[in-house]
Each structure stands twice: as structure tokens, then as C-alpha cells.
Structure 1
């Protein structure tokens, strides 16, 4: 089977799984955006997925995305930054990405306000919550979320949702449920949560964006 056929098959499988999970949750598959996480994946591996109809892709690093996506993207591409963002890369991120999932601290809010004001281009923004209170992970602490959202809103940033990465190797559902409650409590309609191992569970608990890498590209 060719690479193109492989990509189309993997994509169809993931889309079918999304549709089944959405149906079980009483939702429509069209409510859920599949983000193909292409970090560390080269252009040759991405092109077959684009040819198969995938339009939304996620990258972890601004520098890596800037190196490979100008040659790949077209008018239909939606590029998501799903990794941590350094404040000094805010301007580059605003110029390159359609959606930024990792707003997590006051200094980054300030940098994004400045960057967006300079170019009059505003990516969609998600606040990342450190849902498992893990020291090694990015994200705003749950207790500090309301204050960060207030700062962003008062500065004119259009935050539409929350993003989270639950702790590894334990049941993700309680963390997804907490993220969904936090979104509701703070008037946010979107949830970026769920990866290759747990995106079905995330959809059942309200995910509007799922970030799938391994199931589409294989192990890194």
C-alpha cells in the first residue's frame, strides 16, 4: 500500500472513531475538529494526509513550524500551536498560527496583546490549564484561571476555550470532566483535549478539538 493510501486509511479510521464517540455522546461529529499533530514529522509524511483531506495540523514549536509549513499550507490549512509558547516568540506565533492553545501566564498575555496589535491579526486563543497540577507541565493553575482569563479579556484578547493535558498513565476522564466544568464556569465554549490514547473519552466529555498524532503518523 502506498504512503497516500496508508494516510487515507489512518485518517478514515480516526474520523470514524470520532463519529462513533460523538454519536454515543449525543453529539455531531462536525462539532469536533481533528488536529493532526505533525510535530517532528517531515513534509514528505504530511503531504499524503493533506492529499487525503486533512486541513488542521498541530505543531509544538514555532521554529519547526516556520521551517516547514510555508511550503505546505494553502488557503484551507488551519495551523495550531499546541506546545508551550515563549513570550519572545509571540509575534512569530501570531503571524504563523491560526490557533494558539497554550496561553498560560500573564507575561504571555501581554506579549500576545502587543503582537496582535502590531499586525492586526488575531489567532483564536485557548488557555492551557495545568489540570493535574504537575510541576513539569505548562498551564495555568486551576485556582489562577479566573484571574488570567480576566486579564486576557480586559486586554481585548478573544479567548474561546481551554486546553489540557491530563497526567499520563492514569484515567483521563476525571481530568477531562474537570476541564469541561472549568470551561462552563468561565463562559468558554471550546475544549482542546484528548490525544491518540484518549480522544474518544475526551469527546464523550465535551472536547471540541482533539489533538491526534500517533494514530495518524505512527510512533515518533
Structure 2
């Protein structure tokens, strides 16, 4: 039986094969933000274990329940993070996709040292130079990466949200080039509307919500 999960995985596999990559090279993050536990359980029952949330408190409440029912869950923070929530984020999440400023680097470094737990992070790059979006400016990326190293914050790779209404491929390609230039292997890019394009351009993590759960209320 075809489900949104099996269909999404098949589309990822097809896109990976187009670019001569292995489907297993791409991690599907099921973005479960705003969805209740009853909507998440079918994916867990089907064996999926990697999920994304954008609010620390919501994630802590929902996944405290679900992690007691299901083993092996990997939780990714895909939304913006306030520095004052760094301690909570380090306690709840296994990866953070929104490291974008020096104050957050320092807060996460302190939180990880205190918790004696390292959480790999993606540096979010403001790839379209948009005033209304979070993310590190491209020109500021080298300094932010250097600070992360100094503060003991592990950087897995780069993340971006391309501008809406514009072909995303050039922005994904630019992010891939930036990652290569800085010796980073992982790329968090691609959502429900464009994850196949992202996979063909090197995405290692795609953040898919609507295609799996349907439109949010």
C-alpha cells in the first residue's frame, strides 16, 4: 500500500539516483511541528524515526510521551532558537538546524559544556540575502564557523531556506559550494515543494512536513 511516507521515500530515491547518489545518503526529517501525537504515531509505527520540530517546549511535551513508546527516535530542531532556550534545546534535540549568530554559538557552547552533551549543528545561511529571514550572512560565515570551533559547538554542515517564488536550484547549488569551500559534508536543504531538486544538488537532510502530514490548520 502506498502511503505519504513510502511515496516521499520513493521520490527521494529517484532524485538520488538521478544524481548518482545512494538513497541512504539522504536523511528524511519528518517535520511534525504543530501536529499532535496521534498524527505522528503512524509514521513511527511504519518504522520512521527522524522527526523535526520548531519549538522547544512543544517538542519536549510531545516527544516525552512518544520517546517512552518508541525506541531510537532522532529529533531535529528545524525552527529558530532563542539563546535563552539553549539549555532546553541541548537536552531535547539530537541536531539543531538554525545556528545563525554569535550569541547563539556562545549560548550553545555553554549549554553543551554544562550538560556534557554535544549536539551537532547546521549553520543556517541567509542564502537569498533576505532581510525578513534568519540566517548568517554569507560574508559572516567564516567567522561564525571559527567561533563555533572555539566554543566547542560541532558544526555538521549548512542549512538554508531559499527565497519563495524563485527557482531554488541556484540557491541550493550555492549552499553546496559554500559547504565544500569550508570542508563541511552535510547539507540541510529542501522541503515539501522542492526536496527533489535539493537532493539532486547534494542535500543530505531534507525537511518534509506537508507531503507527509498534509497541510497544517
Same fold? TM cut 0.5? yes
Q: In 2, Cα distance between the equivalents of 1:153 and 1:46?
A: 35
Q: Which moved more, 1:89-98 or 1:128-137?
A: 128-137
Q: How many residues align?
A: 214
2:99 to 98, 103, 122: 103
What does residue 118 of structure 1 align with? 114
1:87 aligns with 2:99: no
1:68 aligns with 2:62: yes
Q: In 1, Cα distance between the equivalents of 2:127 and 2:7?
A: 29
TM-score (norm 1): 0.95
1:26 aligns with 2:20: yes
Q: In 1, Cα distance between the equivalents of 2:40 and 2:22?
A: 27
Shift of residue 66, structure 1, vs aligned partner: 1.1
Maintained 8 Å contact 2:119/2:153: no
Q: Deviations over 1:21-62 (max 9, x none)?
A: 000000000000000000110001001111111110000110
SS at match of 1:116: helix
Shift of residue 160, structure 1, vs aligned partner: 1.2
1:179 aligns with 2:167: no
Shift of residue 203, structure 1, vs aligned partner: 0.3
Q: Deviations over 1:68-117 (max 9, x none)?
A: 11101233100000000000000000000000000000000000011001
Structure 2: state its 5+ residue gaps: none
1:58 aligns with 2:62: no
Q: Deviations over 1:146-188 (max 9, x none)?
A: 1000110122221010010000111000000000000000110
Structure 1: state its 5+ residue gaps: none
1:129 aligns with 2:129: no
What does residue 219 of structure 1 align with? 215
TM-score (norm 2): 0.97
